[in-house]
Every structure is written in C-alpha cells, then in structure tokens.
Structure 1
C-alpha cells in the first residue's frame, strides 16, 4: 500500500488540505480542529504534533501525539532545533479529550491497514522527534484497539479508566430512578436548593462571548492545584488563549455559576457531539471561599439532561473520580497504555 505519511507542527505548519472535510466525515470531537490544536500547542510545555496519512492525495488517517520531556518546565516546549537531541518521547493522547482515541481513520481503512499505518506513524514521529527520542507511549487505548498496537517488545499496562453513561432513559427522572435511593434523594434536594438560591446565578449556553477567559483559566489552574498533581501528567495548564477560542464555538456548551455580586464560583464545559458529548472542564472555588456545596452534581444533572433531550447515545465524564461517577450511573471503561521503545519501532 502506498501511503504518504507527514508529521506536522500545528504551531508553524499550515492546516493540511482537506482537514476540515476529514474531521466532518469522521465526526471528530471539537478539539481536533486545527486552529485549536495550534493555540493549545503554542503555549504547551508538551507541544502537539499531528501525523497525517494520505492515500492518493486523500487523508485516510491521523494520529495526535505530544512531545514530552522528563524534565519539562512550565515554559512552552520546543519542537525543532536542539530539543531534538535531548531525551523525550511521543505520548499518543489528545491532551483535552480525556479517554478518547487520539487517532482517526477513514471508514475504508481495515484492521490490517490500521496496524500498518500505526507502525509507519511510529517510525515517522520518532524521526521527527529526533535522535533523542526514547520511543512512543500510547496512554488511552481501549481494549478493542489493542490489536493494532501490541506485538513483540511492546509493554501493555493498565491506565486510569474513563466513565461513560449510556443513554437508555426517557427523561432525567428515569435516570434518577436508576440510581441508589440515597443518591437519588440527595441529587433532587441539591438541585432544588441551587435553583431556589437567589445568590447563585446559573447560565448554560453555547458560543459564550461574555466570559473572561483569563479568569476561567486561573480558576481552573487553582482547582487542579487543590486536587493535587496527576501522576505522570506532562500536559501544560489550560491557557486563557485556548479557552477564549474554545468557548466561543457553537458546539461548546459552557455553564457558569456566579454569586449575586458577580463573582465566579464555578464553570464547566461540554463538547457537543452528535453521538457522544464529553464533559471536558470543571473548576470551582473552594467551599471555604464561600461557594455552595454540590455544584458539581448540578452540572452532572444538566449534562445528563442534555444527553437525554438531545437524543445522544452516551455521555462521557472523562477520567478520575471513578467511584463517584459510578454512583451516578456512569460505567468505567478500562483503558490501557502501550509502551513502545524506539528500537521496537524499527522492527
């Protein structure tokens, strides 16, 4: 098979011809947009590289990876130049699509071709990364995709699962009825309390242009600092520049919680999708700083309502807090990691 494999740096390389049409055909989630990849990568300590595979001039596959260094600083990471000589690796994940595959394939690409495409991707991205490249690490692999990545010299390990709710409900009451009685009663009570509180102003809309992206970015950063570092997480912080581009899109739904004086208490984002929307970002001030408790559960109720009323197949709440999400009816979806040392990529 004749494939053209090209590794792109979204910071500097133009959007590949046919990219928007390929994303539309694959119903790719919002963050695959090339403009968003460019903005996110520009400020990231682990910048994105996008590998595009063509056959006969048409895009048939794409793989996204981050270039990660063991001693990365908080400054934007380099892609080319002397950084190619230093130790680093290609980490195959989409930074802000927690639990989603970091690759796209045209429908006509069969299992055997997918396996060969991934081998060619590995060799190409290692050459691009440079002589210091240690190999490739696939961080979010679902079990059904393991066959195209496994093989001799490749180590498979468990990673944090993602949580998904399948839509089998007529309305929100049907979802609540499926939960344990104690959880069902607490959710109803919390929702009523927030709705009746004049000091909590909730607004949920798509294409938000009324928000201060820097304020949101600072809140998100502080929230994650309180939660503690995620082990082996080399993503950079979500920047104001990225949020400003993201929130104005018509396929991104943002919920905000302000007090009566206009102080931001919390916010969340949902990436709309015709099949499986994703709850992407959540951040709130600490309860001791004056916010009401249980705002997170109000967000979950709103997300579930959106899934049901929009007749979506499922809703993803991302990774982390697996037990809490299970109490809300979300099922853990196991994910695997595959470590491919650079010598193995040459086999």
Structure 2
C-alpha cells in the first residue's frame, strides 16, 4: 500500500483527487481548492492522508496537527512542532467523519483508521505523535474506538431530516406537532406577505462572499467554544467554497436596499446534502424574526424538489430540530493515546 501525506498549502492537487471525491461522495468542503484555502487560514497544519493500492485510492483521512505551539489567534507557522496529537475530523462540516475507506467494514472504518492511519502518521511525524482525537464516530464504531486507556465520550447528536417520504413542504409541515405546525404556517405567511424581503435559492457562485462573510461572522461570535479549528467565514475560504458546483445558497435580501439579511449554505450530495452555514442579522439591526425556521422550510422544499433523501442539519439546538422532524443520530469522540511502540493503546 502506498501512502501520500499531503499538505494542501504546498502540494498540488493529486491527479486522482476528482475520482477519489466522486468515489467517496465527498462534498464541496473536500475540494482541493477549498482545502488549500482553509489550510492557509488555519491555526494548525492540516495534513490530508491518502492510501492507494494498485495506483487507486482506497482511503483518505483529514486531520489537524495540534501541538504546544497551537494558538487561537495565530496561524500555523512553517515549523510543525515535535510533540502533539492529530485531531481527526471532517475538513468543513463537523457532522461528517474525517475519513473514508473503500472497504470500511461494519464499524464504519474506525478499525481501519487505527490500524492503517496511525502507523502511517507515526512514520511521517515520528515518536512525537502522542495521540489521536477521533471525532464523528458512529454507533457502529464505538467498540472499535474504545479500549484500555482510551476515553470515549458521546458528543452532540447530529440532526438529520428525512424528506424522501414527502411530496412538498406542506407535507413535511403537516407531519409535525400541532403547535410547531401552526408556528411555521404563521412564519411562512409572514414572509410571503412581506414585499421587503426576497428569498433566493441560487448556486453558490452567484452569492457575494464578502456579504456572506459579514453575516456569518455574527453567528460565529456566538460559538467561540472550539479554539483550534480554522474559521470558515474568512472571505478567501468562502470565495473558494461558494464557487464549487455543488454548493447552494439560500439568502434573504432587503428589496429596498439590497442588504443581505440572512444566509445559509448547503453542500449538495446525491442523497444527503448538509446545511453547512447559517447567519442572520438580529431583528434590532434590520433582520427578520423567524428567518431560521423559514430557512428550514426552504431547505426542505429544495431537497424534495431535487430528489434528495434527507438533509443533515448538523449539531446544536437538537431539541428544537427534533420538533422540526429531525431524527437525532448519536456520535462519539475517542481520545486514543499512542506509546513509543507505535501502536494505539
């Protein structure tokens, strides 16, 4: 097996990358252009590791290399540090695993990750690699991720709304509890009757990344709870992400001024697109009350019209999302210490 450990800041896009993304169903946040732009804006080096057999990719892992040099307000430097750990996570959407294997097994690829990725990265980083934090482990991977000296904890559930059984937005709304249904009907009527708000659902390339970044920064200020990941609202990152062909933007504009009031991005997928970003102006600054719930309805309508099976609405506010019909999918994080033996304990 051949292992390629790539740094998107310096390494060109591999010739096999497009085929790998198609085979693995990796969304727009795995575009090499997007990975490179994100890596330059990151607090940590962002190695992408690809496994190949017979010249064909059979696995890929995205991670952040976290060391004592990592700081919230400092970009990754030229050196990588001698001692640290790998934070294995999806490069953009935190609702998806940061790994894919062509033959994952019944545990979702967790055992293959530990058996294949760990030796490869010890060879790359040396004995200074002292552990892994593996996120987005599903129920089927719990046993493989657990073990002696390891810490396995349930994290925030992922909200997934199945829409394949609905023929319209109204069908979805009518499936909800009476109080929620009445609330949504009022919100939809209010937006429909308001000529000062225009709702658009367009390809990402038609959106203004500067305006989008300004609105998303409002939402980011509410969630300063993860100190090491790159901030997705950098204009350069959004410029690269929005021009990918599999990105959709749902936006709300003031028809009188053209000002962007609220915006969401959707990373498309043949079966399970991800509602990736959301941001909105507060009502006291010209925003509209109920915009988030209206966006939920617009995302459902778009997914049904395009034949998608479900929409992933990510973490946070799980109880509220459950009232909107989402099922909550458990996920776990595993801390895996590494000893000098080069094997996970």
TM (norm. structure 1) is: 0.90
Structure 1 Cα separation of the partners of residues 160 and 74 of structure 2:
34
Residue ranges of structure 1 left out of the alignment (5+ in a row)? none
Match of 1:98 among 74, 94, 105: 94
Q: Counterpart of 1:185?
A: 182
Structure 1 Cα separation of the partners of residues 328 and 108 of structure 2:
29
CA distance 1:46–1:289, change in 2 (3 Å): same
Q: Counterpart of 1:134?
A: 130
Let me know the Cα RMSD of the aligned residues.
Answer: 2.2
Structure 2 Cα separation of the partners of residues 172 and 112 of structure 1:
35
The answer to whether 1:234 aligns with 2:231 is no
Q: Counterpart of 1:7?
A: 5
Structure 2 Cα separation of the partners of residues 294 and 157 of structure 1:
34
Aligned-partner SS, 1:208: helix
Match of 1:48 among 26, 46, 58: 46
Structure 2 Cα separation of the partners of residues 117 and 142 of structure 1:
14
In the TM superposition, what is the alpha-carbon distance from 1:219 to its structure 2 partner? 2.2
Residues 97-151 of structure 1 deviation map (CA, whole Å, 9 limit, x = unaligned): 1211111122x56459952453221232245345543311012111113344333
Q: How does 1:29-68 map to 2 (within 5 A)?
A: 29-68=27-66
Q: Counterpart of 1:282?
A: 278
Q: How does 1:233-252 map to 2 (within 5 A)?
A: 233-238=227-232, 239-252=234-247
Structure 2 Cα separation of the partners of residues 303 and 159 of structure 1:
25
Q: How does 1:263-342 map to 2 (within 5 A)?
A: 263-342=259-338
CA distance 1:180–1:112, change in 2 (3 Å): closer
In the TM superposition, what is the alpha-carbon distance from 1:20 to its structure 2 partner? 0.9
Residues 191-250 of structure 1 deviation map (CA, whole Å, 9 limit, x = unaligned): 111122122122210143351x2332232122221x2422x4521212111111111222
Structure 1 Cα separation of the partners of residues 318 and 113 of structure 2:
33
The answer to whether 1:206 aligns with 2:203 is yes
In the comparison of the two structures, how many residue pairs are matched?
338
Structure 1 Cα separation of the partners of residues 92 and 57 of structure 2:
23
Aligned-partner SS, 1:242: helix
Contact persistence 1:84–1:131 (CA under 8 A): no
Match of 2:249 among 248, 254, 258: 254
Contact persistence 1:11–1:42 (CA under 8 A): yes
Contact persistence 1:217–1:240 (CA under 8 A): yes
Q: Counterpart of 2:121?
A: 125
Contact persistence 1:31–1:97 (CA under 8 A): yes
User: Structure 1 residues 336-345 or 124-133, which shifts more?
Assistant: 124-133
Residue ranges of structure 2 left out of the alignment (5+ in a row)? none
